[in-house]
Structure 1
Amino acid sequence: MEFHHVTVLLKETIEGIFKDPSGIYVDCTLGGAGHARLLLSKMSAEGKLIAFDQDPKAIANARDIFPKDERLILVNRNFEHLQESLQNLKLLPVQGIYFDLGVSSPQLDEAERGFSYMHEAELDMRMNPQNPVTARQLVNTWSAQQLADIIWKYGEEKWSKRIAEFIVKARAQKEIATTEELVEVIKSAIPAGARRDGPHPAKRTFQALRIAVNDELGVLERALDQVITCLAPGGRVGVITFHSLEDRIVKEKMNSWRGRCTCPPNFPVCMCGATPLAKVITRKPIIPSAEEIEENPRSRSAKLRIAEKL
């Protein structure tokens, strides 16, 4: 299957972080290589692009698209290994880093990956096939309390407790093995009146399980902690998020880089040693245009934030 993915906020992201045609840049989420393709088209022969993806299919796809481009270095690892990988390649510091978070279209559309509540498949949801934890394991082994907590925290699903209780009750009869079986349990847990409006009843629970399986928020926090160290002064980072939990982490991290004093107001002098590390370029996040949303409905929740290292 061709790894086809419609890239979100393409020009805005590259224009936001690109300054030096001969610089070193990092694509933390290669996916369908849309951002990589545009960036490479702007770079000189001296430039370098290091592209991370934990999905071997994304790496194989990029090898097919750019078979002889020596400026591109592909890294089949999770971007939480950002600093270590760049140190091993002896390519620090870099001029720009960008993240396009969430799940890519091919992962959603390939039924066998088990990401989608629209396709019948084994419950999997792993972005990295080597990851030992699957959604099937979580659904069938976690307690009702653990399931309710993640469905509420990562899915912001108001029926989280009821869904968790129905999952535990259903799996006592038979293991929940497929996406369709889980969707049926979720539908039975949510009252009919509540199912009439809003998104698909399984959407929030599936999102929560995917985030938990791949530790997406933990990985994001750990990667953002490495960004400032990896950037050269004047270098920029851009992050595209797709839901409020990710966006909150990015916003708070970028604000922390501004080095605002956190001492109590009654302290006569600053004791926290706050030092500005970066300035935030986007006072408000950049969002897709109406035209982009019409062409690609999956882009509607995207937000881009950009910061520059001082």
Structure 2
Amino acid sequence: MAEPVLSFSRGSVRLNAFLAPKTNFNNAKARCGRGGGNLAAFSAQAEYTALLPLLSSSTLYRDGTERVVLWIGVDPRSPAGANETGLWLDDSPIEFWPKDNEPRQAGMCYALNCTSADGGGCSWDALPCGSTAPQGFLCETNTASVSYLYGVPSTGKTYVYGAAGAALRGATLLCSRWNGQLVSFNSDKEFDVVMTPLLNGSVPVKGNTISGGQLRTWLGIADRNATKWRDGTSVGPGSFSVTGAPGCYVARCPAPATGAAGAGSATAPSPDQCVWELADKCLTRNNFICEMPGVLEGPSGRVV
């Protein structure tokens, strides 16, 4: 399951099909999140139609089978009915639904049921979300939103680095859509491990997140007084010299020098040079890192 068996790009969005028998909907969603994305959504018929020829590819059909079932990102929590369009997991409205399909059912998850026989084709099947009948799932990742993936066995997490700056609310929303949350640093070692690729140039950094030679990264603090991380653990005493309004916090670090990119660069700033502090505004477009439970199954590195 580490590598997709099929890939397809539409603009900045990459679709990857994974074969992983006996994977339920939530586990499939979590795997997509560790790749910086979500289960696939189709905002228009043209997007879905363009994908159909690939879904009849022989790489999807193993051991002589003529049928494969893949989870997609219909949100089972969204209401169904005559006046309800429903939502995809990325919170976009479902504006396309195959005409020959049964109406969407609330509380059910959906999978593409595709065949390689008779010219191919897929139906959208309603399944209990706990079903392990599908043979895999279809993920999508927007490369305009994600720049780098880092699986760290020592923490049991995957870290997804945003490709551009975002206000705190926007960063929080993106992490949630990817089935994660803003990063919580539970130890100095975790902070060093996660920040090093950002500071040594391995992670691309947009200029709009640098001000006065300083790179600011949102911290996953859960309360105004900075006593808890978003994962529910306690923030160490003395971590911040000032707390309170506006209640959002950053790690401020020397920005990596232009041209000094590369892991292990001797000229790269060190995480020891970073300071945790109260931000002036929560609307500033700062760098952000999301954490996902579980270690990335594939290789860490840049998302291209």
- TM-score, reference length from structure 2: 0.26
Greater share of residues in strand: 2
> TM-score by structure 1 length?
0.26
**Structure (1 or 2) with the greater helix fraction:** 1
Higher relative contact order, chain-length normalized (CA < 8 Å, sep 6+):
2
